[in-house]
Amino acid sequence: MRTPGFRTRLALFFVATLIVVQGITAILGYTVARRELVKEGGRQLAANAHAFVAQMNDLSASVASGVQIMSLDYGLRSAIAASDRDTILSVLRNHGRRVGASRMQLLHLDGSVQVDTAGTNEGRPFAWPDLLARAYDERTAAVAVAGGKASWVVVVPIYAPQPVGLVVASIPVDDALIAHMQQLSALPRDVELATPVKGGYAVMARGTSHSELTAQFQGGNPLPSEPRLTQIAGREYLVLAQPLTQPRGGGAVYAVLGYSLDDALQPFQPVWNAWLALLLLALVAGFLVAWLVARGVSRPVEALAESARRIAGGDYHDAPDVRRNDEIGELANAFRTMGDAVREREHRIRHQALHDEVTGLPNRAAMEDAIDGDLAGSPGEHGALLIVGVTRLPDIVKTVGHALADRLMRDAGQRLCHVAGQHFVGRATDTQFAVWLSGADRAEAIAAAFRMVDALGHPYQEADVSMDMGAAVGIALAPAHGERAAPLLRRAEVAEFAALKSTRGVDVYDPQSDPHRPERLALMSELRAAIDADALELWFQPKLHLADGRVHAAEALVRWHRPGRGMVPPEQFIAVAEETGNIGRLTRWVLAHGIAHAAELAHAGYGVRVSLNLSARDIGDPGLPDRVAELLQAHGVPASAIALEVTESAVIGEPEAALQVLRRLADMGIEMAIDDFGVGQTSFAYLRRLPVKELKIDKMFVQHLAHDPTDRTIVRSLVELGHRLGYRVTAEGAEDAETVAFLGDVGCDDVQGYHVGRPTDFASFVAHLSTRESGGA
């Protein structure tokens, strides 16, 4: 969905502001009016409750007066004196109809019913005796509940001249009575008489409205003694309950009055309608005014925005022509000035981004664009990319500093440009130039490379300083070695590294010798997956103790059967693990499985120590001893069940860190051995400090012992030196019986090689041990 423009947003802002202000005003007005209506409603409810009780009292006074007149009737008193029931009954019925009573009763002075127009309780005690005690002193009236109906009960004594009885008039309090009371006064339409029943309240009578006021207070909720807001059928009411006078045992009766806020707000509806109409008119007028104002402001702003888009696309011309004397005019002038400055600055930045600051030649990014453009313009065309390295530049920088080194590289670039002629020359890295020979074949590229070596072969002269550059050239051919600049550059750099090691100083890229070829990268990822999937194996090569002919130790060697490729030589994938940083994960796998196998050998009763190899990175890891200790404890084997082997080169890399780690391992009781002894650079000063108990003579000195007197002399000397230093000596690579016999003669302690036993999987190694112990071959 497209975002509205500035003009529309500005107009909408004005209109939205008007709507928000009017809305807040309306909300405040409604809130204040509603709050005042609630207060007024509460006051009216309280007044109506008192008025209802007062009307009931007036009704009782009227009934009492009527009954009082009846009590003065001579005939009634005579009938009472003569116990003439029929006369009494006739008089009671006549007067009952006159006062609106549904039931009239004549009571003896003892409270028993003498005559009852209902004819049900004659001879029985009166239901509410507490009313009788007060009847002689004051007018007595109360609302009583019987049979689920409410009656206003009025009690009047009869004197002749002494009290001879009491007359009770029961006036039904029903819908008709309440409707009559509403007509005579300002009682609200929402009135109900309710009495408590099990689980709620029962309505016995209600006014002209059927709003179900008590329905909201079922389930044990008490009726409100103060005005309370409640929702009834989606409408808001103020509800108040007023208890009415009732005799003991007559059941509680409440007058429940309601005040409808919706009805109270109805008179304000015309006001709201008028306000809405004014709001709509104001919105229309405001939108028109806002649109005109926004149009006047947005036009120059839109012109500036369009100019900004052109500048973003690289077009710095045709700045907007805004002729105004206000802030927008000043902005337009500043915009034009900015566009000119940005154009000049971008030109300078573009040149700096695509050229080397020292030599002024195109840099690597510009060179890649030029080569890609050339190759894309002529698909399949031949070409050669030469990487020319100034190999002595790092030493020159360290010796004479960057300033002179920069001048040397500037001179080197000029020489290469002179040799390359019209061909593209750029600076690839700090120490390398790149030359693109478009259309050149292999022979032409090699000839050009030797010319460049010759051009850079002359020393750089400055004052009394003369420096050789040490040129080396690597060549990558297109399309044989790549069809884009990036792979050609990378492969030419690989060739340049190879040229450094050659005597000619020139080399052509060879895919077979590239350490970064895709097959090697695939090997890296597959090795990680193999470690995670536990797809490696540990094979074991026995070590023979020459003194007693017993196999007392074995070296654990990791093996990897690559699916679909067969067995991968260990030197290949271990070197890959070293390069990619996965050697730590490989070592953890070897330690875990090697110690687990050592535990199996120990629990099976074979006294064979398992030797495990560590790399240079492993012995620089301070967490290695703790990891080994945890594995030993987890498998329940002593530290003497394993030995750890490290190479001379690993020790010499970081001797202090290695010394700390090796000492912690030795303190745990683990024997340490120096592997491949004799071919590394171990200093005897470091060797003396290492907690090592075994030296393993490298197999290059052992393999030809049977025929080479020089190797015999070297091995004899190494064995004697190791013993004098207090080490046990093991010889690796024993391939025949003559070699083993010579090693025994010179006092070598242990021997390891194909003549003793080839590396085998763990099951075969255990079977070999069983065979030897049982006296087999």
pLDDT tens, residue by residue, 86-142 = 888 888 888 888 778 888 888 888 888 888 888 777 888 888 788 787 777 777 788
| Structure-model confidence comparison of residues 539 and 647, the more confident one | 539
The rounded distance, in Å, linking the Cα atoms of 104 and 114 is 11
- By the 10 Å C-beta count (0-12 exposed, 13-18 middle, 19+ buried), 553 is classed as buried
- Determine the pLDDT at residue 126: 83
User: What pLDDT was estimated at residue 140?
Assistant: 79
Are the C-beta atoms of 445 and 436 separated by less than 8 Å?
no
Q: What is the pLDDT of residue 518?
A: 64
Where in the chain is CATH 3.30.70.270? 383-512
User: CATH class for domain 383-512?
Assistant: alpha beta
Q: Which superfamily is assigned to 538-556+582-773 in CATH? A: EAL domain (3.20.20.450)
What's the maximum distance between 2 C-alpha atoms anywhere in the chain? 166
Please give the sequence-ordered ranges of beta strands (E in DSSP) within 526-685, or none if there are none. Answer: 536-545, 550-562, 566-568, 609-613, 642-647, 671-677
CB-based contact 470:392 (threshold 8 Å): yes
CATH numeric code, 56-171: 3.30.450.20
Residue 738 CB partners (closer than 8 Å, separation 6+): 705, 706
Q: What is the pLDDT of residue 344?
A: 78
Run of H or E including 478: strand 471-478
CB 641 within 8 A of CB 602: yes
3-state SS class at 188:
coil
The residue that leads in pLDDT, 647 or 683, is 647
pLDDT of residue 774: 65
Neighbours of 662 (CB within 10 A): 23
pLDDT level of residue 543 (50, 70, 90 thresholds): very high
Q: Are strands 424-427 and 432-438 parallel, antiparallel or unpaired?
A: antiparallel
Would the pLDDT of 359 be above 80? yes
| pLDDT of 317 over the 70 cut | no
| Residue 299, pLDDT above cutoff 70 | no
Average pLDDT over residues 18-40: 78
pLDDT of residue 435: 93
Q: What is the predicted pLDDT for the residue at 250?
A: 64
User: In the prediction, which pLDDT does 611 show?
Assistant: 94
Token duo for residue 736: 């025949």
pLDDT of residue 639: 93
Poorest-pLDDT segment among 214-228, 636-650, 684-698: 214-228
On the question of pLDDT at 67 being above 90, the answer is no
Q: At what angle do helices 74-82 and 85-99 cross, to 10 degrees?
A: 140
pLDDT value of position 777: 45
Q: Which of 114, 121, 116, 118 is nearest to 83 (CA)?
A: 114
- Taking the whole predicted model, whether its pTM rises above 0.85 is answered as no
Question: 70-79 — which CB contacts under 8 Å span 24+ positions?
Answer: 70/95, 70/167, 71/156, 71/157, 71/158, 71/159, 71/167, 76/158, 77/158, 77/160, 77/164
577-598 residue pLDDT tens: 876 778 888 999 999 999 999 9
Average pLDDT, the chain: 82
Q: What is the 3-state secondary structure (H, E, C) of 502-528?
A: CCCCEEECCHHHCCCCHHHHHHHHHHH
Q: CA 715, CA 705: separation in Å to the nearest integer?
A: 8
Lowest mean pLDDT among 505-509, 645-649, 727-731, 744-748: 645-649
Q: Tell me the percentage of the chain whose pLDDT exceeds 70.
A: 87
pLDDT band at 219; cut points 50, 70, 90 = low
If you average pLDDT over residues 340-360, what whole number do you get? 81
**pLDDT given at position 260:** 77
pLDDT of residue 404: 87
| Top-confidence residue, 159 or 763 | 763
User: Is the CB of residue 495 less than 8 Å from the CB of residue 416?
Assistant: no
Beta strands in 93-199 (DSSP E): 103-107, 113-116, 140-146, 149-159, 163-172, 191-197
Q: How far apart are CA 694 and CA 704, in angstroms?
A: 22
Cα 603 from chain centre:
48
According to CATH, where is 3.20.20.450 located in the chain? 538-556+582-773
Distance between the two ends of the chain, CA-based, in angstroms? 86
Q: Which two tokens stand for residue 292?
A: 């005109």
Q: What is the pLDDT of residue 513?
A: 67
CA 104 – CA 109 distance, rounded (Å): 16
CA distances from 493 to 364, 408, 432, 439, 586 (A): 13, 21, 9, 20, 31
Q: Is the pLDDT of residue 313 over 70?
A: no
Structure tokens at 612: 């495990």
The answer, yes or no, to whether residue 319 has pLDDT greater than 70, is: no
Considering the chain, tell me which residue range(s) the CATH 3.30.450.20 domain(s) occupy.
Answer: 56-171
Q: Mean of the pLDDT values across residues 359-381? A: 85
Q: What is the pLDDT of residue 297?
A: 67
CB 76 within 8 A of CB 166: no
Dist. CA 210–CA 198, nearest whole Å:
22
Residue 333 has pLDDT above 60, yes or no: yes
What is the DSSP secondary structure assignment for residue 61, as one 8-state letter?
H
8 A C-beta contact, residue 427 and residue 413 = yes
